[in-house]
């Protein structure tokens, strides 16, 4: 019996002539990649276990999650990878290169019939060229670096044939959104999906990438498109050698098969929260947007940018709307510049950024804020994935048209005048998005376990480092408390709700950042006792109704780390509950008490 395409590829890279679904097999990996996301952990695994690199020429680093190096942790991880790469003669596609999976295709690291692994969950994008790609964890990638191989369970195969002619206004993104609408996120779960039909044969490389890049959102192991003559020629040129065609056998057996009429496909968009919640875009037209994003590994290729530029030519982004455009690779960026697309984007009022993953990576171009409505060409719109707001997914043409209109629409339905913001509606929308919290009456007397930190001059960078200043959600701040204070980097993990922190002189000196107060509130720390505070910190804490008190001496209490104490804010009485010893510290002033009982300055 013949083999499916995925079985053919896996068998060709194993010791077996024939493989079957469900079998666990070792396969040789043609390209082993670690990104800046997870790359440093790959290095650590290799170094900790004393491993060597099996074949440096097949091993790579790609930095695409943070191409600006603007995040300190990413910058550190990138540098760790660079140093390791120099020591081991490994090529690095650095922050100027672009999305690693796209670089791999365009540089010939991946090619039809090959195998590819990366710390990128969308490594299965290689299905676009008829190659096997998989995202893997740090340990798996470290093993692949060291062994040159990895084990896989041969997946079941599904065959979907698209019949008929693709409608003129149906893009590659629409094809995959129509398939998501039909199959959801579970029908094809765990399958290797092969697509066939005249429509598939005619797809360009960029269109194939769009479809395969959303295989993960369909629940599939991979979406494979057999290489056509154009793809074989392209990859052969990139590899510098003629490549054979690898395809499924005529008598291959599929666990699932279906026929789809592509002529019924329409222009689509996915509603916020679920990529598979895709609907006819006509049903959601006129929804007001705040921002638009064109890019990601799904739709940031040169053809995508040309489509967007065609819509934006001689038009302006609607007032109050932000359009962000991020090419997938530096080569695409350069080509867009040579073709004048960048000029078109800038004249339309768009922001064009470095090549990279952008909106899919936290802190990068394409994120949105609480209450913000975005239309994006990305592949995921799970809550929090591209920011705190709501994200609709659609094609580059629809995203560009919506940016001009100010609301969700298509190129054929762009109004002569853009929609303007209704300030009342926008305020109401933001208020609905903000979680309402019940006011809790602030108590005057507290009890809690103490942390005794015998240090003076603990500044705000030690309390809450400036690399986290973009965080605005108080609930997220707690995890970073004291992570820049030597000896207390794990404070946030060990702290318990109700704890009380005791420090020495000049606590909170330094910058004016409110986060250095709010991070303690997020952790549930009840109060801080210090000999003295930085002036701005003291004001920030009092205004936020966060209890801070000063003391002259605590010697009478015979306090030890971990003891439990009771403190009365109104009288200043303090008791060590472990030994019943008492003392008095400086009580709240009348102003501080009023603000505290009011729940804050406002």
Domain coordinates in residue numbering, the chain: 5-264, 277-433, 445-597
Q: Which residue, 470, 474, 381, is CA-closest to 435?
A: 474
How far, in Å, CA of 111 to CA of 102, rounded? 11
Cβ 593 vs Cβ 569: under 8 Å: yes
Yes or no: say if 145 and 48 are a contact pair by the CB < 8 Å rule: no
Higher per-residue confidence, 351 vs 424: 351
Weakest-pLDDT range from 126-140, 426-440, 493-507 = 426-440
Q: Is residue 323 pLDDT above 70, yes or no? A: yes
pLDDT for 367: 83
| pLDDT tens column, 31-76 | 999 998 788 889 998 999 999 999 999 999 999 887 876 777 788 8
* Cα 412 to Cα 388: distance, rounded to the nearest angstrom: 30
Take residue 415 and report the two structure tokens written for it. Answer: 């109004």
- Return d(Cα 278, Cα 181) in angstroms, integer: 5
CA 384 to chain centre: 9
Which helix (H) or strand (E) covers residue 139, if one does? helix 138-147
pLDDT at 438 > cutoff 50: no
Q: CB of 327 within 8 A of CB of 333?
A: yes
Name 181's Cβ contacts closer than 8 Å, sequence gap at least 6.
268, 276, 278, 279
What is the pLDDT, as a whole number, of residue 461?
86
What is the pairing mode between strands 91-93 and 581-584?
A: unpaired
Residue 437 has pLDDT above 60, yes or no: no
Residue 367: half-sphere exposure toward Cβ, Cα within 13 Å: 15
* CATH class in words for 5-264: alpha beta
- Asked if residues 572 and 550 have their Cβ atoms less than 8 Å apart, the reply is no
CATH class of 277-433: alpha beta
Task: Considering only residues 168 and 387, tell me which one the structure prediction assigns the higher pLDDT.
Answer: 168
Give the residue from 532, 511, 526 showing the smallest Cα distance to 468: 511
Calpha distance 429→228 (Å, rounded): 49
DSSP code for 482: T
Q: Mark out the alpha helices in 288-395 (DSSP H runs).
A: 296-299, 302-312, 330-338, 341-348
pLDDT per residue as tens digits for the range 562-590: 999 999 999 999 999 999 999 999 999 88
Parallel, antiparallel, or unpaired for β 149-153 and 24-28? antiparallel
What is the b/e burial string over 541-566, where b = at least 16 CB atoms within 10 angstroms of the residue's CB?
bbebbbbbbbbeebeebebeeebebe
Average pLDDT over residues 144-161: 94
Give the per-residue pLDDT at 440: 40
Quote the percentage of the chain above a pLDDT of 70: 97
In this structure, what DSSP letter does residue 121 have?
Answer: T
Contact between residue 284 and residue 367 where contact means Cβ atoms under 8 Å apart: no
Residue 435 pLDDT level (bands cut at 50, 70, 90): low
Backbone angles phi, psi at 2, to 5 degrees: -75, 175
Contacting residues for 386 by C-beta, under 8 A, at least 6 apart: 293, 359, 360, 366, 367, 368, 374, 376, 378, 380
CA distance 357 to 67: 8
Nearest in space to 129 (alpha carbons), one of 31, 2, 275: 31
Of 149-158, 182-191, 544-553, 581-590, which range is least confident? 182-191
Please report which confidence band the pLDDT of residue 433 belongs to, taking 50, 70 and 90 as the band edges: low
Q: Do domains 5-264 and 445-597 have the same CATH topology?
A: no
Spacing of C-alpha 525 from chain mean position: 30
Dist CA 517 CA 481 (whole Å): 10
Give per-residue pLDDT as tens, 202-250: 999 999 999 999 998 888 999 999 999 999 999 999 999 999 999 999 9
The CA-CA-CA angle for residues 159, 165, 167, to 5°, reads 115
Q: What's the mean pLDDT when you consider all of the chain?
A: 91
Pairing of strands 322-325, 24-28: unpaired
Rg (CA), the chain: 28
Q: What is the pLDDT of residues 459-481, one digit of tens each?
A: 888 999 878 877 878 888 999 99
Report helix, strand or coil for 255.
coil
Phi, psi values for residue 115, rounded to 5°: -120, 145
Rounded Cα–Cα distance for residues 208 and 127 (Å): 8
- Residue with the bigger pLDDT between 190 and 525: it is 525
State percent of the chain over pLDDT 90: 72
pLDDT in tens, 113-123: 999 999 888 89
User: What does the pLDDT read at residue 332?
Assistant: 96
pLDDT for res 478 = 93
pLDDT of the residue at 591: 85
Predicted structure pTM score:
0.74
Which of the following CATH numbers is that of domain 445-597: 3.30.1330.60, 3.20.19.10, 3.40.50.1100, 3.40.190.10? 3.20.19.10
């Amino acid at each position: 019996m013949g083999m499916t395409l995925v079985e053919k590829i896996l068998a060709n890279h194993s010791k077996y002539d024939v493989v079957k679904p469900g079998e666990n097999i070792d396969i040789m990996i043609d390209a082993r990649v670690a990104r800046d996301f997870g790359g440093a952990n790959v290095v650590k695994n290799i170094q900790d276990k004393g491993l060597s690199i099996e074949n440096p020429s097949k091993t790579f680093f790609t930095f695409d999650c943070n191409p600006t190096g603007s995040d300190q942790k990413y910058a550190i991880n990138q540098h760790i990878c660079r140093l390791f790469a120099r020591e081991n003669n490994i090529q690095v596609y650095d922050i100027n290169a672009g999305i690693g999976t796209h670089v791999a295709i365009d540089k010939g690291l991946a090619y039809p019939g090959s195998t590819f692994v990366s710390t990128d969950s969308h490594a299965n994008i290689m299905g676009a060229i008829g190659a096997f790609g998989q995202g893997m964890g740090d340990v798996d990638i470290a093993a692949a670096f060291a062994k040159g191989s990895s084990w896989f369970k041969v997946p079941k195969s599904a065959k979907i044939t698209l019949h008929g002619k693709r409608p003129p206004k149906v893009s590659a993104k629409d094809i995959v959104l129509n398939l998501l609408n039909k199959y959801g996120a579970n029908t094809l779960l765990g399958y290797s999906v092969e697509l066939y039909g005249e429509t598939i044969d005619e797809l360009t490389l960029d269109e194939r990438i769009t479809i395969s890049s959303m295989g993960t959102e369909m629940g599939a192991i991979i979406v494979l498109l057999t290489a056509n003559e154009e793809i074989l020629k392209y990859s052969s040129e990139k590899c510098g050698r003629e490549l054979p065609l690898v395809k499924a056998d005529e008598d291959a057996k599929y666990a699932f098969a279906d026929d789809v009429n592509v002529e019924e496909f329409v222009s689509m968009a996915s509603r916020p929260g679920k990529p598979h919640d895709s609907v006819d875009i006509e049903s959601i037209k006129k929804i007001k947007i705040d921002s638009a994003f064109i890019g990601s590994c799904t739709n940031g290729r040169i053809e995508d940018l040309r489509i967007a530029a065609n819509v934006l030519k001689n038009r302006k982004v609607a007032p109050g709307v932000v359009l962000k455009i991020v090419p997938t690779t530096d080569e695409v960026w350069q080509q867009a510049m040579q073709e004048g697309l960048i000029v078109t984007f800038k004249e339309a009022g768009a922001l064009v950024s470095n090549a990279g993953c952008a909106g899919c990576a936290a802190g990068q171009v394409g994120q949105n804020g609480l209450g913000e409505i975005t239309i994006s060409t990305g592949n995921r719109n799970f809550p929090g994935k591209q920011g705190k707001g709501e994200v609709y997914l659609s094609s580059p043409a629809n995203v560009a048209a919506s940016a001009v209109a100010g609301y969700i629409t298509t190129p054929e339905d762009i109004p002569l005048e853009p929609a303007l913001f209704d300030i009342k509606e926008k305020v109401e929308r933001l208020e609905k998005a903000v979680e309402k919290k019940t006011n809790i009456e602030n108590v005057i007397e507290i009890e809690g376990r103490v942390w005794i930190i015998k240090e003076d001059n603990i500044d705000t960078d030690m309390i809450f480092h400036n690399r986290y200043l973009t965080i605005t959600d108080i609930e997220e701040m707690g995890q970073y408390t004291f992570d820049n204070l030597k000896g207390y980097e794990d404070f946030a993990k060990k702290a318990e709700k109700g704890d009380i922190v005791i420090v020495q002189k000049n606590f909170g000196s330094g910058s004016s950042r409110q986060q250095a107060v709010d991070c303690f509130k997020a952790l549930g720390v009840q109060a801080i006792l210090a000999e003295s505070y930085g002036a701005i910190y003291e004001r920030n804490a009092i205004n936020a109704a966060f209890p801070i008190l000063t003391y002259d001496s605590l010697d009478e209490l015979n306090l030890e780390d971990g003891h439990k104490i009771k403190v009365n804010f109104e009288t200043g009485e303090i008791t060590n509950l472990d030994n019943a010893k008492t003392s008095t510290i400086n009580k709240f002033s009348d102003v501080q008490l009023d603000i505290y009982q009011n729940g804050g300055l406002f």
